[in-house]
Amino acid sequence: NPNPNPNPNPNPNPNPNPNPNPSPVLPAEHLRVGDSDIPGAGLGLFTRVRIAEGQVVCIYRGVNYTTSEALKITDKSYLMRMGPQCYVDAREDETVLARYVNDPRNPLLYNVTFDKRPDEGIALVVASRDVFAGAELYVDYGGMYWAGHDPPPGKLKLSVVLRRQMRAEVEPKPEPKPKPKPKPKPKAKPDPKAAAA
């Protein structure tokens, strides 16, 4: 008897994603949008809490396009390729927090990755390591993204991030102000009349 299912894989729809059962998405109130530490980058996404490696931070979503539709888009700043014939553009929706994650173009600083899910038309933003509270979230956009930018924004130096981390994790206590020393009272001069008496 020939096998009616020529596919040797017993699961006909395996999930190719590296993180098939992600953790729940971090609540939005644990994130904030603010001025990025990257020169010229505009706004960035920061965490208000510590994030553990593997935590889903937020979701990149937007308008879905095919390749031919995506090629017609003029401003591709927020356009992400999810897979063959699948692009997502978050340009029009400022409530998509994932659109504020920047690329510092410094591999030592990347702390999140995109777990692209073309079948769902989204990408999960996942912590690639433990992230301290107050940190800006950084991801690698890839070389193709930067090929279209002339000139690209400045690179972020590791020292800037380390200073921010030290400020966030160790709250400096204000130094006490020195108390002013009391001025010495002038000594009374002896009264010559009192000495003669």
pLDDT per residue as tens digits for the range 96-108:
999 999 999 899 9
Q: What is the pTM of this model?
A: 0.67
**Domain annotation covers residue 176:** no
Give pLDDT, residue 116: 96
Domain that holds residue 72: 28-167
Domain contains 194 = no
The set of long-range contacts for 61-70, using a CB threshold of 8 Å and a minimum separation of 24, is 61/88, 61/90, 61/93, 61/96, 61/98, 61/121, 61/122, 62/88, 62/89, 62/90, 62/91, 62/92, 62/93, 62/96, 62/99, 63/88, 63/89, 63/92, 64/88, 64/121, 65/89
Note whether residue 152 is domain-resident.
yes
Q: What's the domain count of the chain?
A: 1
What integer pLDDT is reported at residue 192 of this predicted model? 61
Query: Is the residue at 1 inside a domain?
Result: no
Q: What is the CATH number of the domain that holds 138?
A: 2.170.270.10
Say if 32 falls within a structural domain.
yes
The answer to the question of residue 173 being in a domain is no
Identify whether 174 is part of a domain. no
Q: Which residues of the chain fall below pLDDT 70?
A: 1-22, 146-197
Give pLDDT, residue 58.
Answer: 98
Q: Is residue 106 part of a domain?
A: yes
pLDDT of residue 142: 84
